Structure 1
Amino acid sequence: MLRAATLPLDEQPMDVRLMNGVASGVFVLAGAALLAAGVMWLVRAPQFTIRGVEIDGDMGRNSVNTIRANAMPRLRGNFFSLDLQQGRDAFEAVPWVRSAVVRRVWPDRLAVRLEEHRAAAVWQGEDGNDRLVNSFGEIFDANVGDVEDEGLPVFSGPDAEAAGVLAMFRRLGPLLAPLDAAVEELHLSHRGSWSVELDNGATLELGRGSEDEVIERAARFVRTLPEVTARWRAPLEYADLRHTDGYAVRLRGVTTKTIN
């Protein structure tokens, strides 16, 4: 019985090898075209259009309808073609939303988990526009009128120092509590000098230095101030803590006194 012999590739005639190569190339191109056509079909298929968004997480400042109305017009693509990072950006562009996690839910939905900003203070910008500082010390844009009734303190300073201003506020609050006064405004100058406005109308000039150095001066002031106000029987109006060996105070109705 005769069997057909198959020549090794390197022994086949040139025209045969050329035909085989062309045929392989045609098959590869045909496969790529089919794959591309399949991808295009998935991108355009109406059954994979995003038809719903499930929203979970923090929604104290926004309703589900408000979030959808703000974010949905920004979404581009269907279940397969939607860029999840762009979807995340769309939801994080909604006022009060700090972060969003977006994932696909087969076959035509998105699941979104939101974290909202928690306002810690009003930030007075150098451009004259008030913004807000969240509990992480991040400045964000929102309607300041939404927090007018919450009694938030007011901060100011270089934008890059917002987290440091919040940290200082959190240390000064408990420290000044024995004065029966709360921090109403906290300011940091470009030269690094701190000043405080208390809710009883008094002003404190805390000066420059590290956070610990400023806190140490403030603590010394708080320890000794009751003796001063008791002696003169007048409430505090102004104090300058920038002196190395003491501080100066002005009591209501009393001229400035230096305390060593």
Structure 2
Amino acid sequence: MAIIFTGLLLISLLSTLWLWILDPRTLPIKAVHIEGELQNTDPHVLQAMVFKTAKGGFFNINLTAVRSTILSNPWIKNVQVKRLWPDTLLIHVQEHTAVAQWLDKALIDNEGNLLNLPDTKFISLKSHQTKMDLPRFAGPLGSAGEILKHYNQLAPRVALVGLQIREFGCNAQSRWYMVLNNGMKLRLGRGDIEIRLQRFLKVYKSRVTQSLITSVGKSLVQIDLRYTNGIAVQSTLAK
């Protein structure tokens, strides 16, 4: 009889404990800590989003729902949510990093993904960097990743001669082009674009080319690198 009574008492205690754990009023979440390098998202905004939508106490709060809430912010790329005893959520967030414009309509992140972001002047609230500070990519649908790959290979080489790529892309026939920050447009053609760019950079560094640039200035508008053993230069002075 005593054993039965003890068993019933234990079941009753466990049931009470379980109901206490399930009660959303048990150990309510009182603090939300946001971690991560945030350039475009106010951590206080994220905290407010969590407090507004997250329901439940420490034991039964739905961490998946909290994660989905944070991911609803278009700047957020990844989220990790953990409980910290007895009343805290620790949320580590990772933002998308915009590296280029896409057809003046969208942005591209550092993995070549198109970002569906709100129309905003700044892409970095901390540095006040704007979309116009980024290079512009253009190409057929689905080519953003390939364009970014080539850009990452070519941009450091261009920088070695003091230039920057302001526009880069290809058309439907995979004919590549590049516009530099000095206004020059390079026609790279199809295939071997790295070799053709290297040929241009070698010529660009020569004294003859620098003298030509000095004499014609901004009238030097286009350089065609599609030839096997040379280049063609177009200048507005020829018009």
- After TM superposition, the score normalised by the length of structure 1 is 0.68
Please give the per-residue CA displacement for 1:176-212, whole angstroms capped at 9, x wherever unaligned. Answer: 3466532111123343332212222221221222xxx
8 Å CA contact 1:178–1:222 kept in 2: the answer is no
8 Å CA contact 2:164–2:180 kept in 1: the answer is yes
Give the drift of 1:218.
0.8
8 Å CA contact 2:24–2:55 kept in 1: the answer is no
Distance in 1 between residues matched to 2:161 and 2:234, nearest whole Å: 15
Query: Is 2:200 the counterpart of 1:221?
Result: yes
Please give the per-residue CA displacement for 1:24-79, whole angstroms capped at 9, x wherever unaligned. Answer: xxx9xxx7x99788655533341233332111222332222112233443434443
The count of aligned residue pairs is 218
Give the drift of 1:149.
4.2
Query: Is 2:137 the counterpart of 1:155?
Result: yes
**Structure 1 counterpart of 2:113, one-letter code:** E
Identity %: 27
What's 2:65 paired with?
86
Q: CA RMSD in A?
A: 3.2
Please give the per-residue CA displacement for 1:214-235, whole angstroms capped at 9, x wherever unaligned. Answer: 1111111222245456469434
Distance in 2 between residues matched to 1:159 and 1:84, nearest whole Å: 36
- After TM superposition, the score normalised by the length of structure 2 is 0.73
Query: Is 2:112 the counterpart of 1:137?
Result: yes
Please give the per-residue CA displacement for 1:115-174, whole angstroms capped at 9, x wherever unaligned. Answer: 22333222226xxxx222233333323344113744211122346433332232233223
Structure 2: runs of 5 or more not aligned: 1-6
8 Å CA contact 1:71–1:93 kept in 2: the answer is no
Equivalent of 1:110 in 89, 112, 135: 89
Superposition pairs of residues 1-260 of structure 1, within 5 angstroms: 39=18, 41-124=20-103, 130-142=105-117, 143-147=119-123, 149-150=129-130, 151-158=133-140, 160-177=142-159, 180-209=162-191, 213-225=192-204, 226=206, 227=208, 230=211, 233-235=215-217, 236-254=220-238
What's 1:10 paired with?
none
Give the drift of 1:245.
4.4
Where 1:81 maps in the other structure, the secondary structure is coil
| Pair 1:230–1:216, CA change in 2 (3 A) | same
Where 1:99 maps in the other structure, the secondary structure is strand
| Pair 1:174–1:231, CA change in 2 (3 A) | same
